[in-house]
Structures are given as structure tokens and as C-alpha cells.
Amino acid sequence: MVPFASRPFIRATDPGEMAEALWRNYRVGSARFEDTEAPFLALANGVRLEGVRFHYCRYDTPAQISFVAMGGYRQVFVLSGSSEFTLGGTKMALGPESTGLIPPGSDFDAAYSQGYAHIIAEFDEGALVRKAERLTGRDFAGLPDLPLGRALPAGRFWKTRGLVDNLADQFANGADEAALPITELAQALASAFLIDHLEGHPGLPSLSAKAAGRPAADLLEDYIRENWSRPLTVEEIAAACGVSVRSVFARFRETLGTSPMAYLRTLRLDEARRRLREGEPGVAVMDVALACGFASFGHFAQRYRDRFGELPSETATRSR
């Protein structure tokens, strides 16, 4: 499965064609491709969501490319091959077992091996600062020092990588940028990025510093029930109810034995069942799934069967 396959924007079978496409899309300073006996193929897919943009790039031929003033915090996840990024004289060598972070506004040179592919998650700096303020409950003029321009173990960033892979798969299958679960995944990705980088950072307050009092905690379930049809994040739920993010998780674990997102999913499944039972003839099951916040029909059908013991199509057929 090719990441973000439903959102292609470059496909080149000639080095000159690829160089022109890179200039048009990225305003690169220069691009050189080595001659090999293998047929030339380079491609790029990508999508822009609120606060984050994704780039999937593949080079079947070794390439050297100079990028100019690239925006956003760019986290590189190598899928195959190897790469070397040069930023201000510092070299960062990456492979599938490592990841690296490039700062906003950077000029850098990139050297890619034959058969190289990566996904870059480009985070908007302002959106990250606002998210960090909600997570920590304090104001930021900018983000604290981050490990920029050096190779880091990819396993340390499993939260971020898992959500990037999930979104890549969603857009390999034609997901809609405006779909409710896509919006929530993008927001969860920004939170995961910050937690991966800032957890335990000296001088930052603990996310659990503000405990949930009983009256405030009782608002959590009501808030989710009243807002199930909107894109929701744990940070929003916590802020609306006046508790910390960790307190939200603790409250649901202690009282319901589940997570807030699992509780939200249950509410959406219940609403989908109600609509399928009461829907008029001809209403498509997929339309109900999308309206209730499920972008993947296979995921929806599996969750529905786990909860109700039958497929959504069976509920719809019996109702009709």
C-alpha cells in the first residue's frame, strides 16, 4: 500500500521532469540524479490537514537535492533506504531505525540512496505552540528546546509514528480531509508529537498537576455526550471541564474501565445503530458510518459487530 496514494502530486519518469516538479512544488535550489541502469521513477504524494502537512516521497535513483527555507517542524520517518541531511554544516544520517527533526525556515541539503522513501510530517509552528499551551496550562513564546538536526531512535517516537502511519493508510484508501475521524487523528498527532518531545522536559509543569475534583470530573461524560458529532480531542475535553489531560484518562479508567476516545466511539456506534434502525429505505450504510465519525467502512463494520453482534448491513436490512 503506497502512503497517501489517493493524493498524488508528482510522478516523474525523467530526471528533468522531476527537477522541474520539485522546483514547482518545493522551490528547491537544485536537484541532481545519478545515472543508473534502472528505469527512472520518482514520485510524491501528500495532503494538508489542519496544523500538519504530510509528504511521501520516493526516489528509485540516488538523488541530491537542496531545499530552501522549508517551513514547519519537519519530522522525517524513513521507510526504505538511507538519507543524509546537511543543515548549517551539521550532518544528520537517517535510516528506517532512526528519525530526525528539521526546524522551521531551514535551508538544507538532502542526499537520498537508491530505493529511498520517506514520510515527512510537517507541523505548523503556531499550531504546535497553541497545542502545547493547552496541554501544559502555561503560555509559550515558542516551543522549548527540541532535539533538532540530529538522528534519534525511531522507537522513541512510537506514538507519533503510529498516528502518521494510520493517516498514511487512510489517505491510501481515499479518505476525506474534512471527515471527523481524520480531523481527530490530526489533532491527536500534534499532541503525540509534543508529548514525545516534551515529556519530562526540565521546567515544564506536569500534565497531571491539576487533579480532577469530583464535580468537575462528572462533567466529562456529559460533555462528550453533548459533543459526540464534533471533532473532539482529550485536550478540549479537559479544558472544557477544568481538569488536566491525565485526569481525563484517570477518570474514565477508574469509573468506566475505558479511555475517553473509546467512550466517544461507543456513543457514535450507538448513534449509528439508531440511524440504521430508524433510517428510510435506500440510506447507505457507508453514509451513516461517515455521519457518525467513521472514515473507514471496514473499521466501522468490525467495531459495530464487536458491539452489537451483527454487521451494520444486517441491522439495516432487518429494519427495512
Q: What is the pLDDT of residue 218?
A: 61
Q: Whole domain around residue 278: which residue ranges?
A: 263-319
Per-residue model confidence (pLDDT) at position 146 = 86
In a domain, 172, yes or no: no
Domain edge (last residue) among 145, 165, 185: 165
Within a domain: residue 214? no
Domain of 299, CATH number, reads 1.10.10.60
CATH of the domain at 156: 2.60.120.10
pLDDT (0 to 100) of residue 109: 96
Contact criterion met (CB below 8 Å) for 217 and 251: yes
Residue at 180 is within a domain: no
pLDDT (tens, 9 = 90+) of the chain, 320 residues, equals 899 999 999 999 999 999 999 999 988 999 999 988 888 999 999 999 989 999 999 999 999 999 999 989 999 999 999 999 999 889 999 999 999 999 999 999 999 999 999 999 999 999 998 888 777 667 777 787 788 999 999 988 888 898 899 899 989 988 888 887 788 888 888 888 887 887 666 665 544 334 444 444 467 888 888 888 888 888 778 776 767 777 788 888 887 788 888 889 999 999 999 999 887 666 789 889 888 888 788 889 999 999 999 999 999 888 76
Q: Is residue 231 part of a domain?
A: no
Domain boundary, last residue among 149, 165, 181: 165
Given 165, 195, 212, the domain boundary residue is 165
- pLDDT given at position 196: 83
Query: What total number of domains does the chain contain?
Result: 2
Q: Cα angle at 40 between 34 and 42, to 5 degrees?
A: 95
pLDDT of residue 213: 46
Its pTM stands at 0.73
Has residue 202 been placed in a domain? Answer: no
